[in-house]
Structure 1
């Protein structure tokens, strides 16, 4: 083997090594991208699930607020008709308190869900 062909052989090997390294780099990049896309998909599913929960909580909240308003109205009527110290007024006041507590609980759930949804929002600086 002449000196020049040995040199060519060496250059050829170096070129092949470079190409292999490039391919490995590309594969790694592709895997990372697939992983990222998978994570984003999971995040999106999680976010959709949370949004459904939030919609349900908001529906319950509206119903409970309406219930609290009805209880309040009933309590007012009971006080007017039977006096503030009547058993009916006391029962109505207890119903108002229970309804308000439920409203408060639902509002907390609503806030927590909104916060969790915020955690899953796709950042605008995400890789293309």
Structure 2
């Protein structure tokens, strides 16, 4: 409530905000806007390759509070539809945690598998 202005509510703002929050995680590689599969995923968090765990995050912005659930589900579906895990599978990653996150002003909704 104290840091984010709801005048900033565009997808690229929330994408950057989320990536910056995550970059403090020690032992993980955080990457943003990398091509994979049939598109470009928003954020990827990689464990050490020998652990084989990757987190894929796709973000969306809702125009209304009522759209939060729908947009989060849309973001999650995009991960599957665009096969954002394809490159990671080729690199030996085998465990995937996927999040579709939708933002509306200072609120958010996340959908995971």
* TM-score bracket, shorter-length normalisation: under 0.3
More strand, by proportion: 2
More helix, by proportion: 1
The TM-score, its normalising length taken from structure 2, stands at 0.25
